[in-house]
Amino acid sequence: MIEINATIIAQIINFLLLVALLRAVAYKPVARLLQQRSDKIKGDLDHAEADRKEAEKTLEQYKAQLSDAHKKAQEIVDKANLTARQEHDAAVAETRKEIERMKQTAQAEIENERNRAFEEMKSQIVTLSLAAAGKVVSKNLDTKENDKLVNDFISSLDKNMFADLK
């Protein structure tokens, strides 16, 4: 029952043959496949990581652009506000100046008008006084002396009576 013969050599050769065949038929393809899969997973992960970084970068750019745009818009609005205020101030100042100018013109006109009225009144008073005085004292006074007399009178009037009119 226990007898060692050449079968032992045959069995060793058989087994080595089996291992060689198994290695070629089954083990290598499976091991290669496992390697392939782990490579693929690793590649995919790397790819995903790269994609994520890319997306982050893009997002960062977009954010920067957005804040830039915000800033620019704010600047434009500020500028517009400033311009409007300046224009408004300018318009107000112009209007004030206009009003001032008109006031001055009106005052000058009033002054002129009053002076003119005063002169007119003065001459009419002279004429009227002369006429009146002439009629009263036509007999004893000559014209020259009368004029002087009346003018003196008017001048004294001028000084005393029209002082508060001025």
Partner 1 sequence: MHEIGVRETINLFGLTFNIETLKMTWLAMGIVLLIACLATRNLKVVPQGWQNFVEMIILWLHDQIDAMMGKRGRMLAPFIVGLFMFLLASNLIGLVPLMASPTNDLNTTLGLALLVVVIVHVLGLYFKGGHYIAHFFQPTPVFVVINMIEEIAKPITLAFRLFGNILAGEILIIVLLKLMPIWMPIPSVCWLAFSIFISCVQAVIFTMLSMAYLANAVKEDHAE
The answer to whether 8 contacts partner 1 (rule: CB under 8 A) is: yes
The answer to whether 21 contacts partner 1 (rule: CB under 8 A) is: yes
| Other residues' Cβ atoms within 10 Å of the Cβ of residue 153 | 14
The answer to whether 34 contacts partner 1 (rule: CB under 8 A) is: yes
Q: Which stretch binds partner 1 (CB under 8 A): 20-28, 67-75, 124-132, 137-145?
A: 20-28
Q: Which stretch binds partner 1 (CB under 8 A): 25-33, 44-52, 82-90, 97-105?
A: 25-33
- CA–CA dist 9, 6 (Å, integer): 5
At a CB cut-off of 8 Å and minimum separation 6, what does 104 contact?
none
Number of continuous H segments (helices) and E segments (strands) in the chain:
3, 0
- CA–CA dist 41, 13 (Å, integer): 40
The answer to whether 17 contacts partner 1 (rule: CB under 8 A) is: yes
The answer to whether 47 contacts partner 1 (rule: CB under 8 A) is: no
The answer to whether 45 contacts partner 1 (rule: CB under 8 A) is: no
The answer to whether 112 contacts partner 1 (rule: CB under 8 A) is: no
The answer to whether 86 contacts partner 1 (rule: CB under 8 A) is: no
- CA–CA dist 134, 114 (Å, integer): 29
At a CB cut-off of 8 Å and minimum separation 6, what does 140 contact?
none
| Number of residues engaging partner 1 in binding (CB under 8 A) | 33
Q: Summarize as ranges the residues that interact with partner 1 (CB under 8 A).
A: 1-12, 14-19, 21-23, 25-31, 33-34, 36-37, 40
